[in-house]
Amino acid sequence: MHQLLAKIPGQIYLWLAVLIFGASGSITRKLTEIGASQFMDGHNPISLCNVLFVGNLCALGIMSIVYRHQLTAANFAKISRREWADLLIAAILAGALAPAAIFRALALSPVNNIILLGRLEVPLILILSGIFLKERLHRSQKIGAAIALTGILIAVMGNQPTAALTQFTVGQGEILTIIAAVFLSISNLISKTKLLTIPLGIDSVVRTGLGAIIFFLLAVRLYGAGHFMELFSPFLWQWMLVYGAIIVVVGQSFWIKGLKESPIAVAAIISCFHPIAGMFFAYWILAESPTTAQVVGSIILLLGLLLSQATPKEFNSGGFQGL
């Protein structure tokens, strides 16, 4: 069995990861709808807050088993204070604040808008790497980022199939998604430049565990302890065990394995198809049809993302290569 899995091309793992990540937003929304049919004392046991917190706890337990050989005292001792500081910042941004913003956005805006706006992360990383890391950006990266931003702008201009492109509306959900994209971009830059020597297991466990703790404290502060009244519901945990295992652990593991076995340019191009997968699952799972603006915007976005990766090999060898 191990030999059979070893023969699977790395690109297959990348495509599977993109499909899993593309479906995650729609699955999350669907789970909250399932929970709405099982109200307990007037509360939804599968609320968005419970999904994020309990889903992370379930994923944390699975990660602790999968990466147990890396979670040793010796490996923890090798991490410097500076690396711990960078890891904590990255964990807070990517493990707590960004997911919290995305989950809140899912309750306020169409899933397709969230999916498309989430791709701001790619051009944002290009822009931030040029500003803060002084990375040289190729002309195709600059043009691609501008095209991608244009596609995203068009995609969120209308929520109805007949909406005119002049009807530009951005709600709280869209704003939260943009904020989440900024947080993820900064976290990714920290990871790519400061945390390369930290074992994957430690990085994943710290991000997931710290993210769950910070999010729980933040939610209690904002909404009160009663917000997690259904925290010990068996109905919630049975769904979250599946969610945490497939969406968080399997999706992340497939992506990391694919990255190790594939050229970075291939991984970057495959990641560009995340919006297409997300819109497909939004239609299949939630019956949420993409609007005309979203279809046009996603095509322009895809072209921009692909162009931003079409840089000469010799140029990428000395600088930033994208996602």
Residue 136, judged by CB atoms within 10 A of its CB (0-12, 13-18, 19+), counts as exposed
Residues 240, 58: Cα–Cα separation, whole Å: 7
In terms of C-beta density within 10 A (0-12 exposed, 13-18 middle, 19 or more buried), how is residue 94 classed? buried
**Residue 5 above 60 pLDDT?**
no
Give me 192's structure tokens.
Answer: 């790519």
Looking at every residue in the chain, the average pLDDT score rounds to 77
Range of the domain at 201: 2-316
Q: Please count the structural domains in the chain.
A: 1
Q: What is the pLDDT of residue 260?
A: 67
> How many residues in the chain?
323
Calpha distance 226→43 (Å, rounded)? 10
Q: Name the one residue in this structure whose structure tokens are 């602790």.
A: 64
Q: In terms of pTM, does the model score above 0.85?
A: no
- Listed in sequence order, the residues at least 6 apart from 172 whose beta carbon sits closer than 8 Å to its beta carbon are 105, 108, 109
Report helix, strand or coil for 229: coil
Query: Which region holds residue 41: left if phi is over 0, alpha if psi is between -120 and 50, else beta?
Result: left
Percent of the chain with pLDDT over 70: 81
Confidence label for 166 from pLDDT (cuts 50, 70 and 90): very low
Residue 313's pLDDT is: 52
Q: What is the distance between the alpha carbons of residues 41 and 179, in angstroms, rounded to a whole number?
A: 34
Cα–Cα distance for residue pair 128/125, rounded to 1 Å: 5
In a domain, 321, yes or no: no
Q: pLDDT higher for 322 or 290?
A: 290
pLDDT above 70: residue 135: no
Q: pLDDT, tens digit, for every residue of 24-74? A: 888 888 888 888 777 766 677 787 778 878 888 888 888 888 889 999 999
Token pair, residue 68, equals 């147990």
- Run of H or E including 303: helix 292-309
Q: Tell me the mean pLDDT in the region 176-203.
A: 83
Residue-wise pLDDT for 242-292, tens only, equals: 888 888 788 877 877 776 677 655 666 677 778 788 888 988 888 888 878
Compute the distance between CA of residue 121 and CA of residue 180 in angstroms, rounded to an integer.
9
Provide the pLDDT for residue 323. Answer: 43
Q: Does any domain span residue 323?
A: no
Q: Which carries the bigger pLDDT value, residue 100 or residue 72?
A: 72
pLDDT for position 168: 47
What are residue 60's phi and psi, to 5 degrees? -60, -40
pLDDT at 314 over 50: no
Is-contact 90 190, C-beta < 8 A? yes
Residue 200 lies in a domain: yes
